[in-house]
Structure 1
């Protein structure tokens, strides 16, 4: 079986995510790809043929001879909070729709399979490996989620008008908590780094599926 190539990996990432991914040339044949969020997460010595970094700045001349791949904005958009349809599919959400704000795609709304807040909360914690903080929605309205890449009163009001009852995001913004409670919204701050690591592991799985024989290691 022919190994993956650095060029082939970069081409796949560009096609899948729409962002140029090759940051530094290296060995063409890639049997082992290591993935991390940023250079500080990577050991000084690698056994990899190539390295994927979500934040690839400040790589410098470390790991000489190792090709570096990186995707930032498109990774955030598709693999963390925001319009992350991969997470929606993993968690079995249905009726998934984009949420736009001021002409920008900022998240999605969906219906979870769980019927109660405790069940939903438990499913989210299990899938992400934890949370930063959360509070339950008011009243007994059916659960409808918004997975968003930011949190502010205007966005909270926007999704509440769409029928959303639970707001999911990376980091809790204290300035927006009062607005969420006034609107009766439940909130789960899943954790910025935690959602990034979920996305990194998911990306590694997709690359292994696309390139049979490729070995991946995720740091974090």
Structure 2
């Protein structure tokens, strides 16, 4: 009998209580790195409007989840990613990727960055014009109790025309579900602040994508 015939599949597990120690040790009280990976999303040289994103991750009972890690991935203000296939060069120091965790007491999370530009959608037929996606930030959420990381997108309330034409948003049939992807803008002390609460379950459940 071959070994593969009797080996069993390893049971799945949720993210354990040590997720912060491994991925954001400084926030968990461990002074390991001079600079933790993933906190600086845009860098000091990035062009564009400086913005702040704030929110909470909320469970099915309406309570904030306080042990969440979020990763963000975005383009720069010209719609280019910091990647060899990202559409061109980006500013020195622009990473377009960041990692934050929720506050252990309040469940709030936040990060500072620049507002991204529009990026081309995936290429269609050669004869078709490539549509543009609305400015957005991709988010990945992991926490204790979540078997697989959740993927979603954050769009901006002050981009109604771009949002209305976005090919991803238009895949969502119900308008009420589309609204769960829109961060609401306010101004605080001269800075743009966007509020984006992520609902894991319930009537207000955020749209998540199978990627």
TM-score range, shorter chain: under 0.3
| Structure with the larger helix share | 1
TM-score with structure 2 setting the length: 0.26
TM-score with structure 1 setting the length: 0.26
